[in-house]
Amino acid sequence: TDRLKGKRALITAAGQGIGRATAEMYIAEGAKVFATDVNGDLLAGLSCETFVLDARDDASVAEGVARAEPDVLFNCAGFVHHGTILDATDDEWDMGFDLNVRSMYRTIRAALPGMVERGGGSIINMSSALGSVIGAPNRFIYGATKAAVIGITKSVAVDYIKQGIRCNAICPGTVESPSWHDRVRALGEQLGSQEEAMAQFVARQPMGRVAQATEIAALATYLASDESAFTTGHPHIIDGGWSGQ
């Protein structure tokens, strides 16, 4: 219950799914948590400091980072675009990269100077098993953005290792969350069968099930804690055996 004692943790997209599960676990492990989301209503019920932070807005990010002064930054905000390269529009590409990639440029740029000044920090970036680790159908923009997240992670890790900053990425397989249920529903409508849609998503994981958000939160907790002091610059894959065959 005290693995994160004394640490200040800022989380983006903490309103639901993996971000929320992580906020709850960080609180349980004794961190001072600043749980944020673009949709403030979703933050209700979290027993920590909560406020609206739009990861797509420079001023909102700067304000949130100044308020939290984080030792741990968990960049969880992200969006799944569905489609191939020929389905994608320029606007969708720009939006995908702004939310999934540039958001991390914004938050890390804002949080790093304080971390360096205080002598250390752990930055955790939400990537995906899908992208640079393994390809998946209809994930053109999404895969490109999540691969870019690994590039950001390695670059920051290398540049700031001597200042005590660690920067790692989390690469999950399919995780049950509100937006995942939306994706299953959309595929079900396309296929004319919700059962078939669910079966297709589950089949990607050789374990025969999708992950619970708490399983990803456990990895985010390890990466935030000093237990992970010897790891930096890596994509940490947690995908039910999807890419490990």
Q: Which residues bind ligand NAD (CB under 6 A)?
A: 12-13, 15-19, 37-39, 42, 54-56, 76-78, 80, 99, 126, 128, 172, 174-175, 177-180, 213
CB of 163 to ligand NAD, least distance (A): 26
- With respect to ligand NAD, which residue has the nearer C-beta, 24 or 37? 37
Sheet holding 121-126, edge to edge: 49-52, 32-37, 8-11, 72-75, 121-126, 165-172, 235-238
- With respect to ligand NAD, which residue has the nearer C-beta, 118 or 181? 181
What's the helix, strand, coil split of the chain in %, to 5?
A: 50, 15, 35
CB of 5 to ligand NAD, least distance (A): 26
Q: Which residue is nearest to ligand NAD (CB)?
A: 78
Instruction: Determine contact, residues 182/168, Cβ cutoff 8 Å.
Output: no
- With respect to ligand NAD, which residue has the nearer C-beta, 120 or 206? 206
Question: Which residue in 174, 181, 185 sits closest to 208, CA to CA?
Answer: 174
Q: Compute the distance between CA of residue 192 and CA of residue 190 in angstroms, rounded to an integer.
A: 6
- With respect to ligand NAD, which residue has the nearer C-beta, 207 or 229? 207
CB of 2 to ligand NAD, least distance (A): 26
Cα 49 to chain center, whole Å? 19
- With respect to ligand NAD, which residue has the nearer C-beta, 52 or 116? 52
* Dihedral of alpha carbons 221, 50, 167, 94, sign: positive
Q: Count Cβ atoms within 10 A of the Cβ of residue 27 and give its class: 0-12 exposed, 13-18 middle, 19 or more buried.
A: middle
Q: Is 142 a catalytic residue?
A: yes
CB of 122 to ligand NAD, least distance (A): 18
Task: Write down the catalytic residue from 26, 105, 142, 222.
Answer: 142
Place of tokens 């949130």: 64
Q: At what angle do helices 17-28 and 178-191 cross, to 10 degrees?
A: 160
CB of 47 to ligand NAD, least distance (A): 18
Q: Which residues are catalytic?
A: 142
